[in-house]
């Protein structure tokens, strides 16, 4: 064999070795073609029509005063009329979203916000058939809506389990982003159990699947072709996809579907507490080795939590045997508990573990707490760098504080300011002890050893929250 031939063979072998990992990786990437072909027909496009009067559209536009004979006079008379009133014409607005058949007899699942305020809902299937849908019901807390169209033998999606998903697993979305029907996008599960500010009772699935306006209400599939979630929200600064998409777990969605089918409404379990995360500083003040659990900042009156003797300052560590790692873990667990059922809690109370049993009630339509601020004369600041005073009956009524507490009248530079307290706050607990009045507050404060972190329960407006403060060593 000639030297050049041997050199060519060596280079070829070296090139194959270099390409082998890439070729192996390419072979391991999923092929979504069969999944899209099999499940695409179950996905529908949803458009809505909403009637609104022109006066509703233009009611916030100020009408300028024009000099007589102005060339703009005819323009404004055309839209506002000669008497300055907007004509009561109507217009049609359309919204676009996605959905999917959950049964062959025509039940369609989508997002509540897709059909909100609609006068007419049109469902268009992948074979171009169009149906006028009936709205069976909606649930704003989970952003789920159930529709019904007349039909038989419709291509229903297979329902899977969001609980079985693993972070890093491949998933596929099919929907109508920006109105482009039957668009498929793929990605991986980025995280599970995400809590968003507007939906505390939904443990969202976070993905990096490209979801855009119009994908809302469409299905999220696993590689087995099962629906594991309902695409609902994106995180974006521009209105377009930025790598953070959120889907409602299919178990949550189907529970809502079943309740809407049977009763026309959705009920959820209610504990009656306001909670927050345990920070590293708060964990240290409670004698915990690491931050975990849901810290009870407020127990609502006449609630299941109040009846079970749950107290502010308790840290809920487990709920019905399921570990509560963060505060966002708790609401979905409570929400899925049947109304009237009992739940076992393990709480940390002043360094000791306490077992409680609570009877779960139905989540009311609105959970409200009253409040508002009002300070007066300034006194010398204490070692926390704040001035406190007793609450008068008038202040209690104004701030919504039934008993106990002291008002933060002023804040100077110091631990309270560094820890985030404000003038107008009401301190209800200090160092895990209830503050009944100013004498209690001063007594507890005098016994605190400098340098040790302390937890302070504060009511501010409508909410209560713990803050961690540390009195510096002199």
So which residues are the catalytic ones? 113, 143, 216
| 3-state SS class at 155 | coil
C-alpha distance from residue 21 to each of 15, 16, 25, 237 (Å): 11, 9, 6, 38
Q: Mention every residue, 6+ apart, whose C-beta is less than 8 A from residue 285.
A: 431, 432, 452, 453, 454, 455, 468
| 3-state SS class at 181 | coil
Rounded-to-integer distance, Cα 474 and Cα 471, Å: 9
Smallest CA-to-CA distance from 340 within 356, 360, 358 is with 360
- Answer whether 227's CB lies under 8 Å from 250's CB: yes
Q: Supply φ then ψ for residue 298, to 5 degrees.
A: -155, 140
Rounded-to-integer distance, Cα 139 and Cα 253, Å: 10
Kindly tell me the sign of the dihedral angle through the C-alpha atoms of 324, 328, 333, 334: positive
- How many alpha carbons lie under 13 Å from residue 44 in its C-beta half-sphere? 30
Angle at the Cα of 152 from the Cα atoms of 146 and 158, rounded to 5 degrees: 60
């Amino acid at each position: 064999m000639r030297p050049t031939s041997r050199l060519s063979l060596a280079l070829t072998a070296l090139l194959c070795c270099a390409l082998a990992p890439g070729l192996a990786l390419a072979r391991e990437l999923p092929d979504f073609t069969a999944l899209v072909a099999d499940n695409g027909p179950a996905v529908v496009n949803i458009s809505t029509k909403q009637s609104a009067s022109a006066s509703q559209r233009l009611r916030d536009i100020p009408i300028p005063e024009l000099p007589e004979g102005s060339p703009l006079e005819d323009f404004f008379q055309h839209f506002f009329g000669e008497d300055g009133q907007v004509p009561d014409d109507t217009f049609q607005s359309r919204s676009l979203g996605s959905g999917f058949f959950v049964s062959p007899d025509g039940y369609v699942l989508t997002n509540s916000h897709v059909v909100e305020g609609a006068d007419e809902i049109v469902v268009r299937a992948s074979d171009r058939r169009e149906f006028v849908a009936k709205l069976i019901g909606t649930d704003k807390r989970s952003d789920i809506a159930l529709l019904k169209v007349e039909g038989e033998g419709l291509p229903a999606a297979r329902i899977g389990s969001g609980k079985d998903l693993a972070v890093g697993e491949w998933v596929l979305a099919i929907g109508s982003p920006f109105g482009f029907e039957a668009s498929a996008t793929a990605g991986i599960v980025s995280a599970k159990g995400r809590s968003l500010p507007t939906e505390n009772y939904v443990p969202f699935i976070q993905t990096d699947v490209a979801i855009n306006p119009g994908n809302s209400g469409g299905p999220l599939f696993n590689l087995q072709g099962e629906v594991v979630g309902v695409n609902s929200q994106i995180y974006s600064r521009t209105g377009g996809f930025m790598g953070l998409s959120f889907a409602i777990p299919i178990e949550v969605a189907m529970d809502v579907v079943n309740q809407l089918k049977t009763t026309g409404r959705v009920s959820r379990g209610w504990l009656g507490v306001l909670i927050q995360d345990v920070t590293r500083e708060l964990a240290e003040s409670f004698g915990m080795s690491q931050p975990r659990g849901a810290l009870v900042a407020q127990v609502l009156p006449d609630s299941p939590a109040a009846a079970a003797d749950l107290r502010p300052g308790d840290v809920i560590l487990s709920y019905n045997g399921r570990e509560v790692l963060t505060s966002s873990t708790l609401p979905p667990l409570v929400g899925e508990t049947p109304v009237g059922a009992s739940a076992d809690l393990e709480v940390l109370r002043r360094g000791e573990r306490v077992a409680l049993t609570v009877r779960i009630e139905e989540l009311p339509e609105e959970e409200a707490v009253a409040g508002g601020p009002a300070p007066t004369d300034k006194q010398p600041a204490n070692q926390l760098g704040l001035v406190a005073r007793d609450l008068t009956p008038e202040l209690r009524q104004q701030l919504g504080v039934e008993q106990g507490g002291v008002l933060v009248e002023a804040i100077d530079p110091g631990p309270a300011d560094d820890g985030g307290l404000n003038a107008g706050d009401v301190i209800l607990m200090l160092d895990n002890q209830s503050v009944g009045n100013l004498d209690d507050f001063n007594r507890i404060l005098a016994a605190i050893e400098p340098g040790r972190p302390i937890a302070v329960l504060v009511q501010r407006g409508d909410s209560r929250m713990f803050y961690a403060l540390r009195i510096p060593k002199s």
